[in-house]
Amino acid sequence: MAKKRERQRLPEAGKVCVVGSVNIDLLLSLQRLPHSGETVLAEGMVTQPGGKGANQAAAAARLGATVSLVGRVGEDAFGLQVMEDLRSFGVDTTFVRVDKTMPTGLAVVMVDAMGRNAIAVAPGANAALSPEDVDSAKAAIAGAGVLLVQLEIPLATVERAVALAGRFGVPVVLNPAPARALPEGMLSKVALVVPNEVEALALTGVRVTGPLRAREAAGLLLQQGASAAVLTLGDRGYVARTPAAAWGSPAHRVRVADTTGCGDTFLGALAAFLSGGAPVAEAAELANGAAALAATSLGARAALPDREALMALLSVRDSPS
């Protein structure tokens, strides 16, 4: 008979500054994803706030972190919608500028009956997020426990944010998504890099087909300068590596409705607990649970877990007798 193991409490969350994208997502529910040149009729359509930066900020705030977001939206109805949604999660939008010339970023997300997705993004105002916008948020970066950045904004802006964090001694978590080449030496300025399989391939040339190859890719990321690497593997969980250790964990078993935003939830949770002082190993385990819960509803933010929901998932687990 299996024994029960109970987690007493979650670690505290700290202050997180996110520099990244803010989008509106157009979600299409399909029985299956279309092939090239094929038209498939959608069974449902809904618009929801999204964007990697905004999703990660909302996920971190939902888990108790004090979160500031640096970004841009358009002067349009979508911009108003996403700003209101961010504030509903408790995200500080002081440094989200309203761009009068560019529309709010738009993502078209197709989700099949198995919860798998395909996504196309029009950056809109995200493409105008500038190094000067980052400079205006200098105090928020300096006061954060973690700076969290992604690549849906100009690389020059990411570089400025990373440089400022380095000046203030703030550890940087980099989500190298979408996959693209990084400026030389950037990983040496990063405390933790968190790619998925596609992004790991772009950065290391290693095709991640399982945990062993994931560890190989993580090792190459350390050789490129990162202090630690965590590879998210979808329904296979994650693999992590530091110079001292390598480990991983399978994904939690949940009823999957939509995997959109699971990676962003992982990143937001990871940053939230790291900023509160949790070690990488513990923060990654908690992020793994949060990502699983995010898959249980349609859309990137519909099932973002709070501390109570995450505690309920993790508090009682079966372990070998």
pLDDT in tens, 151-175: 999 999 999 999 999 999 999 999 9
Q: Is residue 170 part of a domain?
A: yes
Nearest C-alpha neighbor of 116 from the set 30, 47, 46: 30
Structural domain of residue 304, as residue ranges? 13-22+51-104+126-310
* Residue 318 known to be catalytic: no
The rounded distance, in Å, linking the Cα atoms of 134 and 152 is 15
What's the CATH number where 81 sits?
3.40.1190.20
- Alpha helix ranges (H) inside the chain: 52-62, 77-88, 131-136, 138-142, 155-168, 197-204, 211-223, 262-275, 280-294, 307-315
- The pLDDT value recorded for residue 122 is 94
Percent of the chain with pLDDT over 70: 94
The rounded distance, in Å, linking the Cα atoms of 231 and 214 is 7
Task: Pick the catalytic residue from 25, 85, 133, 264.
Answer: 264
**What would the mean pLDDT of 228-253 be, rounded to a whole number?**
93
**What would the mean pLDDT of 59-73 be, rounded to a whole number?**
98
CA dihedral over 142, 143, 145, 151, signed as positive or negative: negative
Q: Is residue 76 part of a domain?
A: yes
Give the pLDDT band (50/70/90) at residue 3.
very low
Mean pLDDT of the chain: 91
Give the pLDDT band (50/70/90) at residue 46.
confident
> Is residue 248 helix, strand or coil?
strand
> Is residue 135 helix, strand or coil?
helix
Q: Is the pLDDT of residue 28 over 50?
A: yes
Q: Is residue 32 part of a domain?
A: no
Q: Is residue 316 part of a domain?
A: no
- The pLDDT value recorded for residue 258 is 66
Q: Is residue 113 part of a domain?
A: no
Q: Is residue 119 part of a domain?
A: no
Task: Specify burial of residue 320 (Cβ count, 10 A radius: 0-12, 13-18, 19+).
Answer: exposed
Number of domains in the chain: 1
> Alpha-carbon dihedral of residues 123, 106, 286, 70, nearest 10 degrees?
50
- The pLDDT value recorded for residue 243 is 96
CA-CA distances (angstroms) from residue 128 to 51, 98, 152, 153, 261? Answer: 15, 11, 11, 8, 23
Q: Is residue 205 part of a domain?
A: yes
**Residue-wise over 111-150: b if at least 16 C-beta within 10 A, else e?**
bbeebbbeeebebbbbbbbbbebbeebeebbeebbbbbbb
Q: Is the pLDDT of residue 17 over 60?
A: yes
The rounded distance, in Å, linking the Cα atoms of 211 and 125 is 38
